[in-house]
A and B are shown apart, each in its own frame.
Chain A
Amino acid sequence: MYLAKQDNGDDRWEAQLRKGALEMAILATLWSGKAYGLEIIRTLEDRSQLVLAEGTIYPILSRLKEDEFLTSEWVEADAGHPRKYYALTKTGRDRLHKMAEAWVDFSRNLSRLVAPVLSKKELSQ
């Protein structure tokens, strides 16, 4: 939002794209088991290019929990302070599965569509 007003169309389009993918990406970080906020953020950093202000992940986690896609529990960690762990619910797993299917379908078709744009042959002509 804040960014979009200053930026040109290209950046705004890319920002929208990232926004749209973020919820799925967050759910996907929890596919193989529970994790706490910073772990989720690190996984997102390592596995995706969805750079973001880290503080905004927490309100999204909170919303996903309210939507009953996630559960959370506080765990006394070895670190000496409690950590809030998130895990996918059944609803969350189903939702993520649907999202992943739609995503793969969508990106496969679009990739095919835009493939000529990036091919070297077209470029040289």
Chain B
Amino acid sequence: MTSQEYLQSLRSYLKSLPSETREEIVLEIASHIQDALAQPGASLDAILARLGPPERVAAAYRDNFLLRRARRSFSPVVAAHAAVRLATKGIFGFIVAACATVGYCFGGGMVLVALMKPIFPRHTGLWVSGGHVINSGVIFPIPAPPAHEILGQAIIPICLVLGTAIVLLTTGCVQLFLRTSRFVQKQFQTSAEAMPRPATAQ
């Protein structure tokens, strides 16, 4: 691998970062390679091996960036992305990500039901029979009488508000977890630090 190939590969793994940040990282690693090459007895292969695979270097930067952004952002998309990364980092992270998934599916599902009401007015609603909820959501076929639908058009604002609230609550919980958890500090911030030096470096 030439140093240009290494840097190009690093750049492509850093696609998700803002271009200014990305180019500064690439410039810094380029500077490292040039300085290392200037030392007596230097070999490019050994230098690149000691740096480690570009995807691992990039992953450490991306995790830093993602964590920082997820702590600040109120976007469910960013929080969900962070939750997915968490799921790859041990059983505890997986549990948190699983809870977030349930929250997003449930909240998202409710919003979806609200959107379906105008499309399938007769099939969307909450059916009760004898004081018990029989079924809810978008139902094919419509539950048979004596079950009857009780919400009517009110299901739209109810589902929109509840669904949005659940999505926001889930995002809030993920954020709170990212901000406060020692587990996250450990997993995100040091995941790549203790990598072994590749054998070829010797």
Interface set of A (CB-CB < 8 Å, partner B): 1-3, 15-16, 18-19, 22, 36-38, 51-56, 58-60, 62-63, 66, 79-84
CA distance A53 to B50 in the complex (A): 5
User: Which of these binds chain A: B130-138, B141-149, B171-179, B191-199?
Assistant: B191-199
Closest to B50 in A: A54
Q: Could you name 25 residue pairs across A and B whose Cβ atoms are closer than 8 Å? A: A16-B194, A19-B190, A19-B193, A19-B194, A52-B193, A53-B51, A53-B197, A54-B51, A55-B29, A55-B54, A55-B57, A56-B60, A56-B192, A56-B193, A58-B28, A59-B60, A60-B60, A62-B61, A66-B64, A79-B35, A81-B31, A81-B34, A83-B35, A84-B24, A84-B31
Interface set of B (CB-CB < 8 Å, partner A): 24-25, 27-32, 34-36, 38, 50-52, 54, 56-57, 60-61, 63-64, 68, 89, 187, 189-198
For the complex with contacts A52-B194, A55-B29, 10 further pairs of A-B residues with Cβ separation under 8 Å are A22-B190, A37-B31, A53-B52, A53-B197, A55-B52, A55-B56, A58-B25, A63-B189, A66-B68, A81-B34
CA distance A119 to B27 in the complex (A): 51
| CB-defined contacts of B190 to chain A, threshold 8 Å | 19, 22
Contact of B27 among A18, A79, A82 (CB under 8 A): A82
Check A79/B195 contact, CB under 8 A, given A54-B52, A59-B61, A59-B64. Answer: no
| CB-defined contacts of A83 to chain B, threshold 8 Å | 31, 35
CA distance A9 to B64 in the complex (A): 27
Interface contact B64-A84, CB-CB below 8 Å: no
CA distance A40 to B151 in the complex (A): 67
Interface contact A59-B192, CB-CB below 8 Å: yes
| CB-defined contacts of A53 to chain B, threshold 8 Å | 50-52, 56, 192, 195-198
Secondary structure call for the A interface: helix
| CB-defined contacts of B196 to chain A, threshold 8 Å | 3, 51, 53
CA distance A51 to B52 in the complex (A): 13
CA distance A22 to B51 in the complex (A): 16
Shortest CB–CB separation between residue A110 and chain B, in angstroms? Answer: 20
CA distance A65 to B16 in the complex (A): 20
| CB-defined contacts of B89 to chain A, threshold 8 Å | 1
CA distance A15 to B64 in the complex (A): 20
Closest to B29 in A: A58
Interface contact B195-A3, CB-CB below 8 Å: yes
Check A18/B194 contact, CB under 8 A, given A53-B51, A54-B51. Answer: yes
Shortest CB–CB separation between residue A76 and chain B, in angstroms? Answer: 11
Interface contact A60-B193, CB-CB below 8 Å: yes
| CB-defined contacts of B57 to chain A, threshold 8 Å | 55-56, 58-59
CA distance A91 to B51 in the complex (A): 29
Contact of B25 among A1, A62, A82 (CB under 8 A): A62
CA distance A53 to B61 in the complex (A): 14
